Structure 1
């Protein structure tokens, strides 16, 4: 991290976490030699959402764009260590082919079947399981109140820290300049974003600007006069162990937003409260596991009745209040050189490889060429037209 070496860059990326680093890497891979600076206030990434995430990547979505981004990411992540070798240093992310298991009650079987049909149409491998088949595959599960499940065995999880630093080191090797500072204001004309002023007083002009500020993206958008309802929402992650024998589990999810997976000798996960008060709050409620998560995991897997929580930590979802789907694209009606890649509402790490590529394609090629992400553009925000997932969070 250093001070800016120039007053103008071809691309100025605001936010050096997983999304900003993916964008920097992909831009420089597509257009070697252009100047890219990444403005990141915290080189330790202490409060980065990625480093507080569970690391999962799944195809179990209903929107085709999210399915396609996941398929791209899964292929990319499985060879990440080699692809992202920088200066002779491999980039291990400890990928685990653990699979995902999505559970629904009887009244939601039709919804699950519809989503599975879309996933299969896009090339995903998905097994639909009856309660009896589910019980046979995962003996510890309680199935009496379940209608069906979808199992995606090629999904999995990785080390978020390794992923972020892998992207960042490779971006630096390709020429990205990381600046330790924070945007304080922006200057715009009637049609373009022109410059940003940093808290240090540094002034940086750019031909293109990328808002990749995660949970802070809504605040960054305000500097440019752009309405963007991306706000921080606290959520907890827990590491816990079972007091009874239990089989290794995939990443288990249900409609209540319970989500947990095997991790070493225990489990990592939680249950997201979508009604959590919005704001930058990192305080930990040490009773949350016992009061909210433990009853849910013990009901679904009775051996976890004796679960013990060893650690709880908090992180932020960059919650897009319009529809919980990200904004990926430029502000075409106003500042065409201002690009946004934010609002992933808990899916940022898994979609960073594809979303960063999409932003790179818009900047370098002028259009999406790998995955058509047009429906995730800012236009739906301007028309207040939500584009939401169906039955999957």
Structure 2
């Protein structure tokens, strides 16, 4: 089963070289979420003339890059590509938040609940953690109970604590990136953008909802859950959007500081993969489920929760965190996942237009990689790097 936590690690190599674009080129980036915003900023820093376009604005409530928080962790089983990408992203998050003068990365650590003696999702990442001097701490049940007494541990085998991970401010960071992009000289337009005409392997323009057209040398579409709708001929069966629900539960007043300071956590049950982010600006104890939800229209579907999914999440949180039994639901969010077939990110050229680049397939785990992915996009355009083969596997 492909999940947020375990995208496919091995695929057949892509032979086609990625095109490069001169630093004098003009670029239109469609989508100001985690992928588009960071790409626009790093393309601008590379010297490109960049215009960033978004229909509802960065961090809006429809976007996959919305909500309050996202997990940042390097653990991807045996998939070293993402471990390395996250190590770079973590460095860039720290570097850029100083520039933004805004706290975006919260180093709360990530706690992995393991049911079996062998847990490949975590175990197979340990050599990479050692390689980067970012080693995990294995906790016996006795150590886990002593250190985190609010957890029910009797059905667990052990836990791992990653002290280098934590969570990111999601909505706020998208806005901060867009603001910095403008400060550094980028052009931002809030409008809906649709592709113009493809002729002789070239897109001629993008059409804006305000009646204008934009012409550029290259067009980067980083539209999250909308990517499949914009290019239905090649992506309708590649990008699927699902409805993922997250809940914020109110914690007992007398123990609020204990819950607020709890690490990010992941329950590695092999089925639901519940995860959570505690504290996050005192908004409550957040829990999400990684198992894929119903097909979802990111533009038209209402952000209402599913009673059955909520009931199941309540049952889990009452089990794993007994002190939260009967905790009130204080908030909820719908987090659309734009799923690729194998869980990998998509960074590829449109097969019928060499000046269209597609960036997406976040599959619920892409947000954290934003700055490293933006840097990779800029370096790839300039011919200084190339996307990993697994990012080019969806459009064979």
User: Counterpart in 1 of 2:355?
Assistant: 337
Confirm or deny that 1:61 pairs with 2:76.
yes
Question: TM-score normalised to the size of structure 1?
Answer: 0.83
Offset of residue 194 of structure 1: 3.1
Cα distance in 2 for partners of 1:290, 1:198 equals: 39
Offset of residue 362 of structure 1: 1.4
Is the CA contact (8 Å cut-off) linking 2:81 and 2:388 kept in structure 1?
no
Confirm or deny that 1:360 pairs with 2:370.
no
User: Counterpart in 2 of 1:154?
Assistant: 164
Q: Number of matched residues?
A: 360
Offset of residue 27 of structure 1: 0.6
User: Counterpart in 1 of 2:31?
Assistant: 15
User: Counterpart in 2 of 1:199?
Assistant: 209
- The gaps in structure 1 that reach 5 residues or longer are 1-7, 85-89, 384-393
Cα distance in 2 for partners of 1:295, 1:357 equals: 42
1:298 aligned counterpart, secondary structure: helix
Cα distance in 1 for partners of 2:237, 2:29 equals: 17
Question: TM-score normalised to the size of structure 2?
Answer: 0.82
1:336 aligned counterpart, secondary structure: coil
Of 345, 348, 355, which residue of structure 2 is paired with 1:326?
345
Mark the CA change 1:358 to 1:65 in structure 2 (over 3 Å): closer, same or farther: same
Cα distance in 2 for partners of 1:376, 1:292 equals: 34
CA offsets, 1:55-74, max 9 Å, x none? 22111113222112211222
Mark the CA change 1:177 to 1:301 in structure 2 (over 3 Å): closer, same or farther: same
Say which is worse superposed, 287-296 or 201-210, in terms of deviation: 287-296
Cα distance in 2 for partners of 1:191, 1:228 equals: 22
Task: Map 1:1-393 to 2 at 5 A.
Answer: 10-31=26-47, 34-43=48-57, 45-52=60-67, 54-62=69-77, 63-84=79-100, 90=101, 92-106=102-116, 108-222=118-232, 229-243=238-252, 245=255, 246=258, 248-255=261-268, 256-263=272-279, 264-265=281-282, 266-280=284-298, 281-285=301-305, 287=307, 290-320=310-340, 322-331=341-350, 334-363=352-381, 365-368=382-385, 373-378=387-392, 380-383=393-396
Is the CA contact (8 Å cut-off) linking 2:243 and 2:292 kept in structure 1?
no
Cα distance in 1 for partners of 2:277, 2:231 equals: 35
Cα distance in 1 for partners of 2:170, 2:199 equals: 38
Offset of residue 373 of structure 1: 3.5
Offset of residue 288 of structure 1: 5.1
Is the CA contact (8 Å cut-off) linking 1:99 and 1:154 kept in structure 2?
yes
Mark the CA change 1:277 to 1:46 in structure 2 (over 3 Å): closer, same or farther: closer
Cα distance in 1 for partners of 2:297, 2:359 equals: 20
Offset of residue 215 of structure 1: 0.8
CA offsets, 1:101-151, max 9 Å, x none? 122211643553223233433443322223233223212222222123221
Cα distance in 2 for partners of 1:260, 1:158 equals: 13
Cα distance in 2 for partners of 1:75, 1:241 equals: 33
Say which is worse superposed, 241-250 or 47-56, in terms of deviation: 241-250
Mark the CA change 1:110 to 1:196 in structure 2 (over 3 Å): closer, same or farther: closer
- The gaps in structure 2 that reach 5 residues or longer are 1-23
Cα distance in 2 for partners of 1:186, 1:297 equals: 49
Cα distance in 1 for partners of 2:32, 2:114 equals: 37
Over aligned residues, Cα RMSD in angstroms? 2.6
Cα distance in 2 for partners of 1:95, 1:180 equals: 27
Say which is worse superposed, 92-101 or 278-287, in terms of deviation: 278-287
